Amino acid sequence: MTTIMLRPDLKTSGGEIHDILLNGRYAGNMTLVYRERDRIGGAVQLDRASMTESDKREVVQFVRNYIQDLILAVRAVDCDVVVTNSAYDHIIATSRDEAGRWKEMDDAEDYDLLADAEEDEDAYEDVAGFDADEYEPLGDEDADNLDHIEMRTPAGRKAAYYELVVVNETRNKIEYHVYDQEMEWLAEAVFSTHGTDCFGEIRFMFLPGEDEIEAVTDLIVSDFDEDEIDTFDIRVLHAGEELERIELTHEDLADDDAYEEDAAMRDDESDYTVTLARDDGDMLTYEIYNQRHGGLPIGTATVDIANRQLSGFIDFRDPVEEEEREIVATLLMRELDKEKEYKSLNLSVMHENVKIDELLFETDPVH
C-alpha cells in the first residue's frame, strides 16, 4: 500500500513549504502562499525519478485534496498552483550553518525562469487552477525547458556518540543540550514533569533523520528514573515546525482505564499547537493552531508574566467548545512552564471581543 505524507519544512501566517514523502522517501516539494479570503498561489515540484506513473497520479490526487482543504480553511476566492514533474538539477540555498544545507549558486542567467517562460509559452503545459466553486484537477508539466531545483541531503551525522548536558534544572523542569563527539551543538530540549507524566520538546539545529531522532530521544529518556515516570509525550521540532510526536509508556499501563483516558486526551491535544509569536519582556503572545483548520492560527493568547500570578486572555477567531478551550489552556500552560515558575494562571476566553469563559489554574504547592 502506497503511503503519502507531507513533512512541514516552513510555515508562516501567510505561507507554507512541505516535503512530499512517498513511502517514507522524498518525492517532491510543495510551496504555497495565501491571503485569507483572497487567493492561494504556489508550485508543486515532483521528482520524476523517484516515482512511477501510478505513484504520480496518487501523489497529485493527495496534494489536490490538501489544497482543496486549504482553500476552504482560508476561504480563498481563487487558487492557482503550478505542478511540474521532472528530474531535479540544482539547489539554491543558504549556508549549511543556517539551514543545514550547502550553498550552490550558478550565474543568474541560468536561473532566469521568468525569461524562460516568456520566451517559451509551451514550457507550462498544465497549470492547476482552483477557485472556491470549481476545482480543476491538478496536472503536471513537461519541464524540459526549465531549470530545476534539487534537494540535496546534507552529510549525515553518525548517531554513535551523543553527549547530554544539563544546562538548567528546577523543581519540575529540566533543560538539556545535546552534542556530538566533535562537541557540535545538535539539539536543545526542555522537559517538565506533572506527577508521573513527562512532557518535552526536542529542538534540532539541523533537519534530523529517523536514526538521529531516535538516538537523541533514547538518550534523554534514559536520564529519567523509570520508577517515577510512567509516560513521555515528546514533540520533535526543527526551525519551529513539528517533525514528529513521540509517546512512550510502560507496558503495564496498557490496560489501565485512567491511562486510556489520558491517551485519548493526548490524541485530542495532538491536533493543536501553541507557538510563541512575540516576547515583549513581561508580556508574551502566542499563536494557536489546529491542524484540521490549515495553516492559519485559530486564535491568539496574550499573557502577563510580570509576577507569579499570571493573567491574560485567549482570543478565538471562531466559537469553540469548552473541551477545546481546556485543551488549548493546558498546552499554553506547558509553554509558560518554559518561561518561568508561577503560582496560578487566570485566563479570560474571548470571541469577537466578548468574554465567553474564565479559566483559573493553580499549581501544586511545594511542601
Report which of 29, 14, 4, 10 is spatially closest to residue 243, judged by C-alpha positions.
10
> What is the residue extent of each domain of the chain?
4-131, 156-266, 271-367
Report which of 156, 29, 31, 42 is spatially closest to residue 86, judged by C-alpha positions.
29
- Report phi then psi at 237, rounded to 5: -125, 155
292 vs 119, residue with greater confidence: 292
Q: What is the pLDDT of residue 98?
A: 41
Task: Please compute, for residue 342, the number of CA atoms within 13 A of its CA located in the half-sphere on the CB side.
Answer: 23
Of 49-53, 59-63, 240-244, 265-269, the least confident: 265-269
Q: Report percent pLDDT > 70 for the chain.
A: 72
pLDDT tens sequence across 310-336: 999 999 988 888 888 888 988 999 889
The residue-averaged pLDDT of 172-183 equals: 86
pLDDT tens sequence across 288-315: 988 777 667 889 999 999 888 899 999 9
Q: What is the pLDDT of residue 269?
A: 66
pLDDT tens sequence across 199-252: 999 999 999 988 899 899 989 988 888 888 888 999 999 998 999 999 988 654
- Residues 219, 229: Cα–Cα separation, whole Å: 15
Q: What is the pLDDT of residue 95?
A: 44
Contact 45, 84 (CB under 8 A): yes
Q: What is the pLDDT of residue 205?
A: 92
Q: What is the pLDDT of residue 282?
A: 85
Q: Does pLDDT of 131 surpass 50?
A: no
Q: What is the pLDDT of residue 93?
A: 53
Given the C-alpha cell 540535496, which residue does it identify? 152
- Report phi then psi at 102, rounded to 5: -85, 155
Query: What amino acid is encoded at 247 in this protein?
Result: E
Q: What is the pLDDT of residue 367?
A: 38
Query: What amino acid is encoded at 205 in this protein?
Result: M
Q: What is the pLDDT of residue 265?
A: 53
Given the C-alpha cell 556530538, which residue does it identify? 180
Q: What is the pLDDT of residue 92?
A: 62
Question: What is the fold of 156-266?
Answer: Aminopeptidase (3.40.630)
Range from 74-88, 96-110, 132-146, 188-202 that averages highest in pLDDT:
188-202
The residue-averaged pLDDT of 50-59 equals: 88
Q: What is the pLDDT of residue 114?
A: 39
201 vs 182, residue with greater confidence: 201
- Residues 186, 158: Cα–Cα separation, whole Å: 12
On average, the pLDDT of the chain sits at: 76
